[in-house]
Structure 1
Amino acid sequence: MGMLITKKPEKILIVRLSAIGDVVHVLPALRLLRSHFPESKISWLVEDKASDILTDYPDIDDVIVFPRKKWQGEILKTKRTLNILSDILSFYKKLRKEQYDLVIDFQGNLKSGIMNLITGSANRIGFGRGYCKEFNYLSTQYQSYPPGKKMHRIKKNLLLLKDLGIENKFQRPELPVSKAEEEYISKFINTNINPSLPVIIVHPGTSKFGSYKQWPTQNYSLLADMILETYKANMIFTWGPDEFDVVKEIVKNMKHKAIPACETKTIRQLIELIRRARLFIGGDTGPLHIASILDIPVVGIYGPKDPEIYGPYNDKAIVIKKDVSCSPCKKRTCSDPICMTSILPEDVFRGVSKLMG
């Protein structure tokens, strides 16, 4: 990259717009950035659907929310079109007015590239050609070229800071929650579980965008029964938007008792619930990466994505993956996701047994 910072930047902007797991993967880099520039104002540009995790975050001075979901939903409404266009213009003007001394693009695609250019900053850092998408490298003046492409996202993000003179040493970040969020989860836990037994959290769902990564629901029922036949534990199934029916079906088809989680209206409520777990089980989703960064033992069920790049990042994790010729892949849909359906409940149970001891 060859960039030299001759003076400490007063204003720094991090660009990582989405999604929840990807935002979590940048938090260790943020921790290093704050340690190296304790007096700088650090802002983070993020989309509305992932912004909650950054609210009141101790290493961030300002969270700039890009309301993509809101704008997409209202731009075609005749009565709202002019208002939305005005909001978009105001947003872009505000971003440029900040005059950031340093912009760091951890996303590396067209969308983040546009944001880079809007800032007008003279120091825009991102990944080089071959390490980003959609010609993103054209939006930055300084590019980083990691030593290999098969590298975990957290490590890749840390390397982006190397030429700023920041040592690439992983520091586990905090995921703070409010007292109200802690009390909300405590009320659910105290009402529904046996306090003398460990909590196992299972998150069976995926986003609609990532539905091709979902393990069959019947397998979760069979796995949960295997676990409860062997270990005395409280088993809680967490769920997100439009996933409650999936959890109800899983619990209904079980022989043993499991508990659907309370509704978590914010990501931080979910964080606090996951924090109570002795073990987390799930696919390649945001909740899994939250559990991983909290240093909770994780059993990850992986199919289309490469766990060396997108897997859990702690030494208490076990990844269950089948060796099939088409995996990993870059597909967004699949009519025959054999990489997921070939994973049996017995395969995942063996991983659970290793971590439960």
Structure 2
Amino acid sequence: MAADSASPRILLLRPSALGDVCRTVPVLTSLKRAMPDSHVGWVVQEGFEDAIRGHPDLDDVIVFPRRKLARWATNPAVLIKSLQWMRSLKQGRWDVVIDCQGLGRSGLMAWCSGASVRIGHRDAREAGWLGYNRRVSMESDVHTVDRMLGLLEPLGVAPISDMRLYPPADSVVSWEAFRRELGIESPYGVLATTTRWPSKAWPDSHWISLIDRIEKSNLDRYVLVGSHSERSQVRQLADRISSSTDVTVHDVSGRTTVGELMACIEQSAVAVANDTAALHMAVGLGGRCVGLYGPTDPAIVGPYDLRSQVVYASPGRAVNYRDRRLGDTLMQPVSVDDVVDQVHSVLSESRSPIESKT
């Protein structure tokens, strides 16, 4: 089937990270609006498939077993399995592949797919651009979502910035059962207080001050979320909040699947988060969120089209957020007063999940 057919087989490459997977969905939606009869598949990292498997525009989910193949460079047996997995992509008989990841590994996936049209950014890192035969040039100072939507240009597809996410039905059921088990009543707020990089983490003392100052008549119960590796950190903060305030706190860190986390956020009154996956989920689950930014620029990586719901303390200089020596120094200036105001503003709008998806 020709790549310019009305019903091509298209493969999206965006295995990770979780937040980036969530904000790649406009590429999927744009393709389906332009070519309703197309068959669109998506390569996603194992463990992240819940973020997209419920999307009505997605036809096929291809799980990339990253952990099993992680030691390919030092283990010959794993290298062989990696090459076998890469070659298996040809079984999809793809006409077009779009690499939204832009790394060496995803560039290799594009090349191994066998697609006649392989699209990616000209400046893809780790020589990923070698895997493409359609290379798109874009400025680096545009939002990540717009940058990915720019990859549609070689296909003549008009970009649609539809960020909506769809929690899998079974995940909604299991979250509601877990919620009843824990006695989590509505309305509740979601707090995503942790992050992989310390430089992007709002200080614990600020979180406690925030909760203490939010009007209890608006919100008096909170759900703290996080990964399994962050459980100890979240537990410590949950204990401090419980002992310092008179609100109800539920710590579900490490106890939810990605799909259950989506359901948790969708049913919340507001989600307050650092620059992390939970924030970008919230954008597609009603947009009832407040983002906290310091070392990263919300104009590039902030909640898409919700700049007014960001509290940003610009460092005033270029910084490397991966530098662990920074600690939380760049997040300390993010004002509690401003975050309180933003939370009250979101709560006052009272956008329900149903309203936000119409």
**Which of 279, 285, 288 in structure 2 is aligned with 1:294?**
285
Tell me, in whole angstroms, the C-alpha distance in 1 between the residues paired with 2:203 and 2:71: 31
Letter in 1 for 2:110: N
| Superposition CA RMSD, Å | 2.6
Q: Deviations over 1:175-206 (max 9, x none)?
A: 13123x223222344452444xx221111011
C-alpha deviation, 1:229, in angstroms = 5.0
Contact 1:297 1:316 in 2 (8 A): no
Query: What TM-score, normalized to structure 1?
Result: 0.86
Per the alignment, do residues 289 and 11 of structure 1 end up closer, same or farther by CA in structure 2, a change over 3 Å counting?
same
Contact 2:34 2:158 in 1 (8 A): no
SS in 2 for 1:246: helix
% identical aligned pairs:
26
Query: What TM-score, normalized to structure 2?
Result: 0.86
Contact 1:237 1:258 in 2 (8 A): no
Q: Deviations over 1:12-60 (max 9, x none)?
A: 1111121011111110110111222222222111222423323354322
Tell me if 1:30 matches 2:28.
yes
1:277 corresponding residue in structure 2 = 268
C-alpha deviation, 1:279, in angstroms = 0.9
1:353 corresponding residue in structure 2 = 344
Contact 1:302 1:320 in 2 (8 A): yes
Alignment of 1:220-299 (within 5 A): 220-229=207-216, 231-254=218-241, 255-262=245-252, 264-299=255-290
Per the alignment, do residues 89 and 158 of structure 1 end up closer, same or farther by CA in structure 2, a change over 3 Å counting?
closer
2:191 corresponding residue in structure 1 = 202
Per the alignment, do residues 117 and 347 of structure 1 end up closer, same or farther by CA in structure 2, a change over 3 Å counting?
same
Letter in 2 for 1:177: P
Letter in 2 for 1:301: L
Q: Deviations over 1:131-166 (max 9, x none)?
A: x323333321112223x4322222222222133122
Tell me, in whole angstroms, the C-alpha distance in 1 between the residues paired with 2:335 and 2:142: 28
SS in 2 for 1:31: helix
Tell me, in whole angstroms, the C-alpha distance in 2 between the residues paired with 1:216 and 1:230: 25
2:298 corresponding residue in structure 1 = 307
Contact 1:105 1:112 in 2 (8 A): yes
Tell me, in whole angstroms, the C-alpha distance in 2 between the residues paired with 1:283 and 1:22: 15
Letter in 2 for 1:118: C
Tell me, in whole angstroms, the C-alpha distance in 1 between the residues paired with 2:282 and 2:189: 12
C-alpha deviation, 1:243, in angstroms = 1.9
Letter in 2 for 1:341: Q
Runs (5+) with no aligned partner, structure 2: 349-358
Tell me, in whole angstroms, the C-alpha distance in 2 between the residues paired with 1:112 and 1:340: 33
Contact 1:293 1:313 in 2 (8 A): no
Per the alignment, do residues 88 and 74 of structure 1 end up closer, same or farther by CA in structure 2, a change over 3 Å counting?
closer
C-alpha deviation, 1:278, in angstroms = 1.3
C-alpha deviation, 1:227, in angstroms = 1.5
Letter in 1 for 2:188: V
Per the alignment, do residues 258 and 93 of structure 1 end up closer, same or farther by CA in structure 2, a change over 3 Å counting?
same
Letter in 2 for 1:43: G
More displaced 10-residue stretch of structure 1: 304-313 or 59-68: 59-68
Contact 1:278 1:296 in 2 (8 A): no
1:105 corresponding residue in structure 2 = 99
Runs (5+) with no aligned partner, structure 1: none
1:333 corresponding residue in structure 2 = 323
1:141 corresponding residue in structure 2 = 133
**Runs (4+) of structure 1 moved beyond 6 Å?**
73-76
Q: How many residues align?
A: 341
Tell me if 1:124 matches 2:124.
no
